[in-house]
Amino acid sequence: MTNKKSSYFIIIICGVLLSSAVFIFFAALQESKRPAETLQQPGSETMALPTEAGVFRRWAMALKYKDMPEGGSRNLATYYANRAYHGAPPLIPHPLVSEQGIGGRTCLQCHENGGYTEQFSAFAPVTPHPEWLNCRQCHVPKKTEGLFAGSNFEKLQAPPLGQAAMPGSPPVIPHGLQNRENCLSCHAGPAAPIAIKTTHPERVNCRQCHVPAQQEAEVFERPGGELGSNW
Amino acid sequence: MSTNTLDRRSFIKKMAALSAMAAAATMFPGIVFPNEQERGLPQGDGNIAWKKSPCRFCGVGCGLLIGVQNGKAVAVKGDPASSVNKGLCCVKGYHSVLALYGKDRLTRPLIRRNGKLEPASMKEALDLVASKMKDTIAKHGKDSVAIYGSGQWTIPDGYVASKLMKGVIGTNNLEANARLCMSSAVTGFMTSFGMDEPMGCYEDIDHAGVFVTWGNNMAEMHPVLFSRMLDQRLRRKGVLIIDFATRTTRSSTASDRSILFKPQTDLAVANAICHEILKNNWHNRGFLQKHCVFKKGKTNIGYGLEDNFKFTDEPKDMTLAEFKAFLEDYTPEKVSKLSGVSVKDIKYLASLYGDPNKKVMSLWCMGPNQHTRGTWMNNVIYNIHLLTGKISTPGNSPFSLTGQPSACGTVREVGTLTHALPYGTVDNEHAREKAAKIWGVPVGNISPKPTYHTVEMFRALDRGDVKFIWIQTTNPMVTMPKLKRYRDGAKKEGRFVVVSDVYPTPTTDVADVVLPAAMWIEREGMFGNSERRTQHFEKMLQPQGEAKSDAWQMIEVARRMGYEKYFPWTEENHVEKIWEEYYKFHEGDKHGIAPYEVLKKEPGVQWPYVNGKSTKWRYHVKYDPAAKGDSFDFYGKPDGKAWIWARPYEAPPESPDKEYPFWLNTGRVLEHWHTGSLTRRVSVLHQAVPHSYAELHPTDASRLGVKTGDKVKLTSRRGSLVLPASVNERGLPTPGQVFVPFFDEGLLINELTLDAFCPISRQPDYKKCAVRVEKA
């Protein structure tokens, strides 16, 4: 009897958990369709958590990504070399179809969903933010190697990969997520540099295990209470 | 900033630590993690502090977070807390900090000795500047010295310049480069509404159903706002972007409809739109009766091509019937012939403005402003919005954009123009009294007569009426139209030119003294953007070498001239003290500005700032605490009305002819800002657009036998220039038109341009003159 009761109890609990998981999943999907917005109000004193919008974009591709062959020509060195500093918008490393074009009619033809391009014998990287249509607002080509004047700029370096709290625990996200909320666009598929490619794109809910490492994190100390942090 | 940063940072720290703790706790319930283990937590970007600042470049005023590490700016991200850009930047903003670190930064003063600029100490250089300024005043009078500043000046920089020149020395020889980009906007606002700056704000973008861009390539020049428009079009049904321009650009490509007009005829098209609105009874009768009056001014007003040109308008009353009669010359059929815009397109534009169910936002910048009838152009756009009552409410917004980070905040609000004071104009006795009281100077010190506007100031330098000029944060030896005259003038014997800047430029080439300036976040300051938003930034970095801020350089010179008591502040506290003093000029509900502490905390505050709140829309009682009555209140004018002006089409001073058959249009590109003195030091931006070029229409190019990269020679009545052709690249001029960006100091297109200006605003027209194009 007791056993039966407790197993009912467990089933009910499981049911509740399952339904809430389903609810959360779909709520998150809904969320991903919502326009990019931050949780922070202008003028508020505190920084909000990174926006979740766009997190689940490309989830339908996840299984395909899993089965896609390796074959990307990009590696981490070229990936970093294509940016002025860690987090800067990457340059356009190839000749352009049109100087007049804007978003949907040009860049996004290849960079919205990726795929192989004969012209460059390469897989096109996928943009994490296809909703921003004026691509050339941030991404520019390089038409010369020359400089107008030299520079003493010291760039923010990319952090080491695979930072985890303990051996075997899930690595943290070592970069900002603004405009890069959608993990799969850079970390999955044939265009992803091998060094940052996930082995398990099908899990989709990346941030279930991988959390952003906040650069300014310090030890948590209880603000008060009977037992403070240093009891 | 300090309290805010600390709060924010400690909050982030707590959040991060919390999430790590929470994750750990779920894995190992019951285990408390000791401090040692937490120290090993991954650090992400490393030891970096993110501090807020408005962008150094255009007038949009995006909020940036600057990554500072080991005393250097190493990265940038968009500030998600800024309502301007909501975390998005353009390529200039993302790479803005690289502009601090060009190898050729000016780090010590230079003094010209025996024709050569030689290093000197800051003390020696400032002593020399002060004694030269003093001697020149003693020998040639107050009006022989001048300061020429910038819309990139911070508000405190402009304030010190105004107090020193207008209050203490007592000359109105103070101008700024914003004369070349914004003064038609100012006179447009003043003549139509009696108060400067837009009634609306960027939030209008989230409400408008139709965007009409007037001669404005926003995809390149105001990309973040353009992206907000594109974003709205994706999100909301039926949103339209109409590009009304003289050439086809990226903005045209992105718009729903691109309508091209012949240069200068935008005046006529705007009048035709008004004609159609009235003819079809699309005007808002109640609004017109209650809130508007009709005025006409002088016609055939000239172009300012001759020295000492003078013009004063005389407004005369008009009735609606007379206004209608005036518009009879502007039927769509007549205007179509003149402008090249089809009758159908004119009617289409009118129908968008006339549809009572559509909220319309008009946006413009240099097209209507750099126009020999720039004030009129601004007036006629307001006319359209006033006839239809589409103004001062969310989404109904005639919106004049700016090009510099503080053209509004510094030049327009502090009033660093010859006729202006921080409050009001010099010819107004009450304004002079107010300024004298706050500054602690005798009211007689402030001259009631404006002296030289920018073009005339450089003419006066050429003539020798001005003998000493101090140029700060701007590069007139690239930007003045008809450049040769003004360069030759600056180099003449008996002229003393002081230049404060961060890099060597063609302007430092003509200097007698060069002072190294602290740039942007190397000092504390405030900028004011296009939507009346004031934004503060703290000093994040040490200035390089001996560099000092423009404000502090002027204070040092003022002290050497014996004016210490007017500038009693320290280098540490002067920005705060200046703000406290400046604050008094704008007190009240029409222009109140936020206190220093609030500015430090917020991502930006819009004036009028009343009872702790920004004002988003002015002149409507629902949104503006200064408005009285039950709806609109155009309190800028003494009669409480907005003025609708009858402004005719008048031809430009120079049009293509047999000898010079092409229009020359000049402007910017996305990657470079103004004269490129900053952006060309940014590798990414220089490498994207390494040099200037001449855009030609393909039919003209094939007739001339040139393709992209071939050299063409452009010749005007003022000069000539050889530069590479660009065919079917970024922009597509109409046949018979050539477009050249002006950022390249190696290819100075302003050798060719004409120094004609709008007689009301005195802003030159860089968009229209006649040239010949040959294969070189």
Domain ranges of chain B: 2-100, 110-177+405-568, 183-401, 662-775
How far is the alpha carbon of A36 from chain B, nearest alpha carbon, in Å? 9
CA distance B19 to B691: 50
CA distance B251 to B223: 10
Give the long-range contacts of residues A46-52, CB within 8 A, separation 24 or more. Answer: A46/B7, A46/B8, A46/B11, A47/B8, A47/B11, A47/B12, A47/B15, A47/B81, A48/B80, A49/B15, A50/A176, A50/A177, A50/A178, A50/A181, A50/A212, A51/A177, A51/A178, A51/A181, A51/B80, A52/A28, A52/A181, A52/A207
Give the β-pairing of B605-606 and B533-537.
Answer: antiparallel
pLDDT at B22: 45
Identity of the residue in A35, A149, A164 whose CB atom sits nearest the CB atom of B42: A164
β partners of residue B77: B65
Backbone angles phi, psi at B519, to 5 degrees: -105, 130
CA distance B323 to A213: 65
| Chain B residue with Cα closest to A151 | B102
Q: How many CB atoms lie within 10 A of CB A205?
A: 14
pLDDT at A40: 36
* Interface predicted TM-score (ipTM) of this complex, two decimals: 0.80
Strand order across the beta sheet in which B174-176 lies: B116-119, B110-113, B513-516, B496-501, B468-472, B145-149, B174-176
Residues of chain A with pLDDT below 50 are 1, 25-48, 216-217
Residues of chain B with pLDDT below 70 are 1-46
Percent with pLDDT over 70 in chain A: 69
The answer to whether the Cβ–Cβ distance between A156 and B503 falls below 8 Å is: no
Report the run of H or E that residue B111 belongs to, with start and end: strand B110-113
Closest CA to A101 of B367, B235, B219: B219
pLDDT at A116: 87
CA distance B399 to B198: 6
Contact B625, B608 (CB under 8 A): yes
The answer to whether the Cβ–Cβ distance between A151 and B684 falls below 8 Å is: no
Domain B662-775 has CATH 2.40.40.20: yes
Identity of the residue in A46, A148, A164 whose CB atom sits nearest the CB atom of B7: A46
CA distance B754 to B687: 31
Length of chain B measured in residues: 776
Any alpha helices (H) in A169-224, and if so which ranges? 183-187
Q: Is B670 on the interface with A (CB under 8 A)?
A: yes
Domain B2-100 has CATH 3.10.20.30: no
Residue B653: cis peptide before it, omega within 30 degrees of 0: no
Contact B561, B531 (CB under 8 A): no
Report the run of H or E that residue B275 belongs to, with start and end: helix B266-279
Name the one residue in this structure whose structure tokens are 């460059």.
A120
| Segments making up each domain of chain A, as ranges | 68-142+179-213
Identity of the residue in A44, A137, A172 whose CB atom sits nearest the CB atom of B90: A137
Q: B339 vs A53, B299, B332, CA distance in Å?
A: 46, 20, 10
Exactly one of B366, B519, B554, B758 is catalytic; which is it?
B366
Backbone angles phi, psi at B665, to 5 degrees: -120, 130
Helix, strand, coil percentages, rounded to 5, for chain A: 30, 5, 65
Q: What topology does CATH give the domain B183-401?
A: Dimethylsulfoxide Reductase; domain 2 (3.40.228)
CA distance B769 to B653: 8
Average model confidence (pLDDT) across chain A: 76
Token reading at A145 = 């190697």
Q: Mark residue A28 as left, alpha or beta (left: phi above 0; alpha: psi -120 to 50; beta: remaining).
A: alpha
SS3 for B730? coil
DSSP B317-386: EE-HHHHHHHHGGG-HHHHHHHH---HHHHHHHHHHHH-TT--EEEEESHHHHSSTTHHHHHHHHHHHHH
Cβ neighbours of A46 in B, within 8 Å: 7-8, 11
pLDDT at A221: 65
Count of A-B CB contacts under 8 Å: 263
Q: Is A105 on the interface with B (CB under 8 A)?
A: yes
Which of residues 53 through 82 in chain A touch B, CB cutoff 8 A? Answer: none
Q: How many CB atoms lie within 10 A of CB B516?
A: 24
Q: Is B621 on the interface with A (CB under 8 A)?
A: no
Q: B620 vs A26, B623, B628, CA distance in Å?
A: 43, 6, 8
CATH number of the B110-177+405-568 domain: 3.40.50.740
